[in-house]
Amino acid sequence: MDRRTLVEFVTAWVLIVLASFIMVVPLFWVVNIRLIFIIIISLYGVIHLIKNFLILKSKEYSGFSTAISSVVVLALLFFIDINDRPWNLALILFIWIILMSLTKLKESDYYHDKKNKLWKLNLVNLILFILAGILTTINLFCENDTQILVLGFFFLINGILDLMDPLVAYINGKKK
């Protein structure tokens, strides 16, 4: 397994563990959606920024654009209150999904330019990510603990989708 595939594999598993932890948080009566969402987005951006620096030689900058998307959403979180209005949480999450979709589309284009067949998988992942994101934003009009669970499931799905790329790359590398 090459370094890039290994870093992406570990990153995806860290995101899956983080999402699983987020889904358990309401059991401990921590239901401050603003704080939890800030932590999720911050960790997501930092993890992808670290990933970007670890695979800098591959000249793929999706981790950097993911970190920028997270910073934009964090900046919005300081101006928009999401504790009282679920609509605001759905709006901010939708903005993040749009920014991340552009990043995932650019990553798919990167694979297409390299004539790598993984661009088709990335395109399917993009469609599934957008679908999961839209379903998540629709279902954020509940109590805080339910919102946290929905966000946890969304980030779990996102982690699983991120896991598909290095997993398929590893399997294709073993076959050759």
Residue of 172, 173, 130 lying closest to 154 (CA atoms): 130
Q: How confident is the model at residue 176 (pLDDT cuts 50, 70, 90)?
A: low
State the number of CA atoms in the 13 A half-sphere of 137 facing the CB: 17
The whole-model pTM stands at 0.87
pLDDT digits (tens, 9 = 90+) for 52-100: 888 877 677 778 888 999 999 999 988 888 877 778 888 999 999 999 9
- Provide the pLDDT for residue 62: 79
State the number of CA atoms in the 13 A half-sphere of 140 facing the CB: 27
The average confidence (pLDDT) of the chain is: 87
Spatial contact of 126 and 94, defined as CB atoms under 8 Å apart:
no
pLDDT digits (tens, 9 = 90+) for 101-131: 999 898 888 878 888 888 888 899 999 999 9
Q: Give dist(CA 96, CA 124) in Å, integer.
A: 19
- Provide the pLDDT for residue 83: 78
- All structural domains of the chain with their residue ranges: 3-175
pLDDT above 90 (res 154): yes
